[in-house]
A and B are shown apart, each in its own frame.
Chain A
Amino acid sequence: MTHKLLLLVCCIFLLAGTAAAETVPCDSDGDGTLTASELATAILDSLDARFMGGTVEVPSSDDLRDAAFVYEHWDGRALTITDSSGRETTLSRPLRKIAVFNSDTIEMMRSIGVESDRVVGVSKYTLEDPTYFPEYRGKANLGSTWAPDYEQAAAVRPDAVFLYATISQSSCDEIEETLSSIDPGIRFFRFDSYRPTAYADEVRTMGALLGKEEGAERFLAFHGSVMDTVAGRIASIPADERVSVYLENWDDYKSAGNGSGYDEKIGLAGGRNIFADTAVEYPAVDPEAVISRNPDVIVKIVGAGELVFGGYGDDDPAPFEEVTRAIEDRPVWDRIDAVRDGRVHVIHSDVIGGPEYFIGVAYMAKWFYPDLFPDLDPRAVHQQYLSEFQRLDYDLEEHGAFVYPV
């Protein structure tokens, strides 16, 4: 047993030697700000040393590269970033080797133009979706938040690890604790990258963090134009005239209660969730309750559970139609207005669950109020998102199945 104690003590000593506070590279006067002349001197000195046989002590090429980034993107000063968990981190160098446990964050990073070579490891879910994340094929597999592969994560020597902010909190805390005991130099950042209320802020923060401010603004302009159009036009509808909506996920009769993500998205699209009074986030509801609450529109989500079809990797729309028929054929459901008026819609979780939620909101807004949105083309929004922001060679005319009826 003394042996184990000895190991313990040694380990504590081992961990004690964490790095001291860093300073901005090439900040030769040490005032915390890298000025144009400091950077110029550093560059000239190193050119001199390399080509003219100069003998002044010069910064390494890594230092020089990092200094140029800090000067260009952060005004020559260390940057303090507040992530979605409220934690502040100060960086004096750019992040070049990032391990990302959250697929939604990978997508958000791509939206603002972060190059895939700055990512050294991704979650197994990112790797399992080569149609959507082709450029991440072959990256180190970090496992999942619930079953992380610590050795792999440490072996790729990341300078930063991105984790979820509000879901799987205890698992993510656990990952932070373990990884920093392996390598105390790793910085951690928390982003959800799928929650509508936080999405725009997260995009902006990510832009500043990774030096993609312009990409972030360009994406936010696009995203904002969709969300603002919808919000602006539904604002005029009084609460009691809003379309009532029954939302069902991939499990039959499993709806969305108060405060759930889907409840929020129905609200964003101008609908009134008929089960918004349920405190359980994802309640299993009584079919009779749906009949008696008589929704104007039914929205069914597919793409998970037993209804795995559609999305980016599957072009066949037939199962969507089957699902619609099955809902219409439920006993006595022909009395529901939504069924009688042919307003049963099926949507794939890819365009409503994650960072593409705004596409789903556009679809739903158009379903709820077709007269208000004659000019809104959700599919064109989707295509623009894929081509311009995800930089994917993917044609929605030919591939994928996301909604029914189209």
Chain B
Amino acid sequence: MMTDFGRQEYARLTEKRALFIAALILILAALVGVAVTLGSANLPVADSYLAILAGLFPEAVDLPDRMVESNAVGIVWGWRLHRVLFAIVAGFGLAIAGTVMQGVLRNPLASPFTLGIASAASCGASVAIILGAGFLSGYLVIGNAFLFAMLAAGAIYGMARLKGMGSETMILAGIALMYLFSAVTSFLQYLGTSEKVQEVVFWMFGSLDKSSWPKLGLVTVVVVAVVPLLLWRAWDLNALAEGDETAKSLGVPVERSMAGFMLAASLVTAVIICFTGTIGFIGLVAPHITRMVIGADHRTLIPASGLVGAVILLGADCLARTVIPGAIIPVGIMTAFLGIPFFVYLFMRRRDA
């Protein structure tokens, strides 16, 4: 039975969570506003916004000549807008995938990286780039990256289900897979010409350069389909976090729901990184940051860390496009530059308290 004190405490926590989420949404909206005006085409801020309107209501907006001359509508709609939205969806998806993996495996180190999914995707991309072999003609790199990522997830998963593996063993298996796929990638790089190796390296940096409307649509569909499912089962995650026995006694079918969660998280990760290359870091850090602020209740942790991921990725991309004028630093590098110091700061502060 809850005491009055507990009730108050819970109400305060709820308020804090609501505030945190509201703040994130505001920051994200502000970032979007800034992001669509950034770029080496040097469009005036007003032109960028007018270009968005012109794309939405071609009839209503009367374009000035200078905007026809600069192709502002083409630049904003053909390039900036889907990139910005892609950053949000990808950041959101990667962060919730990381949250779910950490929750299911009860391990703070679990992420698409540590489970070998990211290096499997890199391996698949390398096969496509260097050997020119793949499964989805016309989309060799994307197809291979996705397939290999799912293969890695499936392998870990198959082992876990067949042998009834615990979470530690699953992580170990993941790390082993990561080394295996990295070795294959290195071998392919040894075989490849310097141009192809460079292409692989750039792929592995992780970047939003490859975004487009159809890709955004696909990723959005997957993320939108998976998130409500995860939220609906968030209680199971809370129970699993307390240990298999606790979860079982609460009526959670442990193995089956672990399987389901891992599959959902892997699918989201794979569908994102096959387009972007490896931006695995967000999946590791966003859940931690969020947990430090609002606690470990997965009902709010999942959407909130998704928002944190979206903010980090979009913020990093804004910086990546502006830090060196005329050059775009791959966003995978930028997220690490931006996220890690913040992460360490949060860590240190918590230790002090």
A binds B: yes
Q: Which of A151-201 contact B (CB under 8 A)?
A: 151-152, 154-155, 157, 167-168, 170-171, 174, 177-178, 181-183
Measured between alpha carbons, how far is A14 from B56 in the docked complex, in Å?
9
Would B79 and A141 count as touching, CB distance under 8 A?
A: no
Q: In the complex, how many angstroms separate the beta carbon of B169 from the nearest chain A beta carbon?
A: 37
Q: Which of A8, A11, A174 has the most CB of B within 10 A?
A: A11
Q: Does B297 belong to the interface (CB within 8 Å)?
A: no
Q: Among B42, B199, B209, B217, point to the contact of A150 (Cβ < 8 A).
A: B209
Q: Does A147 belong to the interface (CB within 8 Å)?
A: yes
Measured between alpha carbons, how far is A370 from B85 in the docked complex, in Å?
64
Q: Does A146 belong to the interface (CB within 8 Å)?
A: yes
Q: Does B194 belong to the interface (CB within 8 Å)?
A: yes
Q: Does B40 belong to the interface (CB within 8 Å)?
A: yes
Q: Which of A57-86 contact B (CB under 8 A)?
A: none
Would B326 and A280 count as touching, CB distance under 8 A?
A: no
Q: Among B75, B77, B194, point to the contact of A151 (Cβ < 8 A).
A: B75
Q: In the complex, how many angstroms separate the beta carbon of A152 from the nearest chain B beta carbon?
A: 5
Would B209 and A148 count as touching, CB distance under 8 A?
A: yes
Q: In the complex, how many angstroms separate the beta carbon of B326 from the nearest chain A beta carbon?
A: 5
Q: In the complex, how many angstroms separate the beta carbon of B87 from the nearest chain A beta carbon?
A: 13
Q: Which of B159-209 contact A (CB under 8 A)?
A: 190-196, 198-199, 202, 207, 209
Q: In the complex, how many angstroms separate the beta carbon of A97 from the nearest chain B beta carbon?
A: 12
Q: Does A221 belong to the interface (CB within 8 Å)?
A: no
Q: Does A282 belong to the interface (CB within 8 Å)?
A: yes
The interface bits of chain B over 77-90 (1 if a CB of A lies within 8 angstroms of the residue's CB, else 0) are: 11111100100000
The interface bits of chain B over 311-328 (1 if a CB of A lies within 8 angstroms of the residue's CB, else 0) are: 000000000000000111
Q: How many residues on A have C-beta within 8 angstroms of the other chain's C-beta atoms?
A: 40
Q: How many residues on B have C-beta within 8 angstroms of the other chain's C-beta atoms?
A: 47
Would B199 and A170 count as touching, CB distance under 8 A?
A: yes
Q: Does A143 belong to the interface (CB within 8 Å)?
A: yes
Q: Among B41, B58, B212, B330, point to the contact of A181 (Cβ < 8 A).
A: B212
Measured between alpha carbons, how far is A151 from B80 in the docked complex, in Å?
8
Would B74 and A183 count as touching, CB distance under 8 A?
A: yes
Q: Among B81, B85, B212, point to the contact of A177 (Cβ < 8 A).
A: B212
Would B217 and A143 count as touching, CB distance under 8 A?
A: no
Q: Does B128 belong to the interface (CB within 8 Å)?
A: yes
Q: In the complex, how many angstroms separate the beta carbon of A223 from the nearest chain B beta carbon?
A: 24
Q: Does B14 belong to the interface (CB within 8 Å)?
A: no
Q: Does B210 belong to the interface (CB within 8 Å)?
A: yes
Q: In the complex, how many angstroms separate the beta carbon of B327 from the nearest chain A beta carbon?
A: 6
Kindly list chain A residues whose C-beta atoms are within 8 Å of the C-beta of B209.
147-148, 150, 174, 178
Look across to chain A and name the residue whose beta carbon is closest to the beta carbon of B193.
A281
The interface bits of chain A over 281-321 (1 if a CB of B lies within 8 angstroms of the residue's CB, else 0) are: 11010000000000000000000000000000000000000
Q: Does A7 belong to the interface (CB within 8 Å)?
A: yes
Q: Does B224 belong to the interface (CB within 8 Å)?
A: yes
Q: Among A4, A152, A171, point to the contact of B326 (Cβ < 8 A).
A: A152
Measured between alpha carbons, how far is A281 from B190 in the docked complex, in Å?
9
Measured between alpha carbons, how far is A151 from B322 in the docked complex, in Å?
12
Would B85 and A7 count as touching, CB distance under 8 A?
A: yes
Kindly list chain B residues whose C-beta atoms are within 8 Å of the C-beta of A13.
58
Q: Does A47 belong to the interface (CB within 8 Å)?
A: no
Measured between alpha carbons, how far is A157 from B77 in the docked complex, in Å?
15
Q: Which of A1-57 contact B (CB under 8 A)?
A: 1, 4-8, 10-15
Kindly list chain A residues whose C-beta atoms are within 8 Å of the C-beta of B40.
149, 151-152, 155
Query: Given A14-B58, A182-B75: A147 and B330 within 8 A (CB)?
Result: yes
Interchain residue pairs A-B with the least CB separation, the first 3: A182-B78, A155-B41, A146-B202
The 14 sampled A-B contact pairs (Cβ below 8 Å) are A10-B55, A11-B82, A14-B55, A14-B73, A143-B327, A146-B202, A147-B330, A149-B328, A154-B74, A155-B75, A170-B199, A178-B78, A260-B193, A281-B193
